[in-house]
Chain A
């Protein structure tokens, strides 16, 4: 969808002698446009680069040194940040990774099952259920979180990753169900029918025909789920208060709480560490992200 380009025909040159000037004007305008775009892009990205550069500077010089290149590069911020709390930072990383991968697995299974039913099966109440599913996209999290919290507390699930992972196995992220429904609808029905003639039931069709064909939608789901759980803060803040259960997001927050010590270097260093997975997704998974955004129209 995003790869096809409609080439608009250039404006027809008016008169011969003026053609050269028009060309020059167009040329000049495009140079100007690129210059502005690059300036905008650079000023947007600069703070990120500044953070990366600052993480290699001693804390005392971060706000003194104007230049990006550290005059005295050091990795002491990284070692400091790693052991800033009584629990090493690797523990927080592991907690975040565990939640992220649990959520991915849950979403892939539960959302694809629901999507298959919505896209390919006929049953009573499908229209209403589908509408309900779409409506939940607009539901504020705040309106369900209080009772959820009370229940999870009763279950003694506070300080366990289960409140964050178990709902994902129940297809609560309607966005992904919707994404997959859209995708499955685009697959030719003849494939299903051929499978049916060969004696495959719905589950076989789902498992052996639809699932392998919908890997692009699954990849988009996996990547978005990772980014959202990695960036999630609210749920991790309320469900995982104990130090050894904290995630990357809530551990970074502790640097602010403890800002009386103001170890900005360590804070920046661990912030950089927390952004590395997202950056890799940006480099290698962008295609799926852009496709997901463009085909559903949802962030």
Chain B
């Protein structure tokens, strides 16, 4: 888990920033090795960030043959008056707030279940990991669209009547009393199906948690057991604190990723963000403004808002981390 330390120190006291004073003989050689990376960081990352900052203050439409017109904060002002923009913020916030913790909770729960010397660990780990590998693909989003559609597998499942030795059990649909409907075609359920797809891919954080659990020395548990701590107490006082840096780290990265999600919402809603604006993710709305209406200025302003939001959220995570993340120093 050496990766974790790197990140936490980056923000806590910038260990990487500590300059080492040693003779620099082959400095030019180092820059030669780094040449592709330096070109990339300047040309493909830093300059574009600055360019999009500039563009965010302009009216720039690729369809018109006219250079960007400087309009000050107009794009930002427009954003706050744009009800679709607010909808996309609201959709994305709900996705992040529910999807990310849910997925991590499931991942952690299963990691704990699998950790205790369970037979068949490798098998379960593989099976649970498969959705993570496929989950980002268009094919799985297409599958999701069908499974939770009107004629989909999920509705069929709800209507299954189990027949046990001549005794017919009522179907789930009958018990809860609802008519068949399209789960992705209704505004109040569509987003939840995309959240479910995110939770479905809990396999990769689960693997990270499993690796983290391995690092906890078993003598801690033995000592706690001797002192009469039960399973729950052991979890609260040993597992959770020692795992908290990993949980924290995953929470930060998954949150950053979730703010940007695009593919699943695009495919499942057929590119519309519908029904209504119920799955109009921020990334999807940005795509439509930038690459369908070619309003590059407005899209850049949206992108910068996203960057600022992610920066603020990440900073908040790190600021609060000292209250709940436990570092063994």
Contacts and interface: CB of A to CB of B under 8 A. Distances in A.
A252 B16 contact: no
7 contacts: A121-B30, A121-B33, A124-B27, A127-B19, A138-B314, A202-B33, A298-B253
B259 interface: yes
Interface in A175-230: 177-178, 182, 185, 201-203, 206, 227-228, 230
B133 interface: yes
A201 B29 contact: yes
B138 A147 contact: no
Contacts of B51: 146-147, 150
Nearest to B130: A282
Given A4-B214, A47-B143, A143-B304, A114 B33 contact: yes
9 closest A-B pairs by CB: A170-B40, A294-B211, A147-B51, A271-B139, A123-B30, A117-B33, A114-B37, A63-B151, A147-B48
A178 B10 CA distance: 13
B44 A170 contact: yes
A17 interface: no
B62 A134 contact: no
A66 B201 CA distance: 26
A45 B133 CA distance: 12
Contacts of A6: 214, 217-218
A4 B213 CA distance: 12
A204 B306 CA distance: 44
A149 B299 CA distance: 12
Contacts of B126: 282, 286
B208 A297 contact: yes
Interface string B150-164: 011100100000000
Nearest to B213: A6
Contact of B207 (A118, A122, A238, A290): A290
B270 A117 contact: no
Contacts of A177: 37
A216 B129 CA distance: 20
Contacts of B132: 299
Nearest to B282: A142
B260 to A, nearest CB: 5
Interface in A252-295: 252-253, 255-257, 259, 264, 267-268, 271-272, 274-275, 278-279, 281-282, 286, 289-290, 293-295
Contact of B134 (A48, A228, A249, A259): A48
Nearest to A283: B126
Interface-central residue, A4, A147, A237, A297, by most chain B CB under 10 Å: A297
A105 interface: no
A247 B321 CA distance: 42
Interface stretch (A33-41, A70-78, A83-91): A33-41
Interface string A111-138: 0011011100111101111111111111
Interface in B1-38: 1-4, 6-7, 10, 14, 16-20, 22, 24, 26-27, 29-31, 33-37
B33 A147 contact: no
Contact of B291 (A133, A149, A257, A294): A149
Given A299-B132, A299-B205, A114 B36 contact: yes
A268 B153 CA distance: 14
Q: Taking chain B's interface residues, is the majority helix, strand, or loop, or is none over half, making it mixed?
A: helix
Chain A's interface size range is: 35 or more
A47 B128 contact: no
Contacts of B48: 143-148, 151
Contacts of A101: none
Interface stretch (B72-80, B82-90, B113-121, B167-175): B113-121
Interface-central residue, B33, B152, B310, by most chain A CB under 10 Å: B33
Contact of B218 (A8, A148, A149, A274): A8
Interface in A42-80: 44-48, 50-51, 63, 66
Nearest to A223: B133
A22 interface: no
Interface string B74-113: 0000000000000000000000000000000000000001
A178 B118 contact: no
B316 interface: no
B249 A297 contact: yes
A131 B16 contact: yes
Contacts of B211: 1-2, 293-295, 297
A272 B139 contact: yes
Contact of B36 (A113, A135, A178): A113
A265 to B, nearest CB: 11
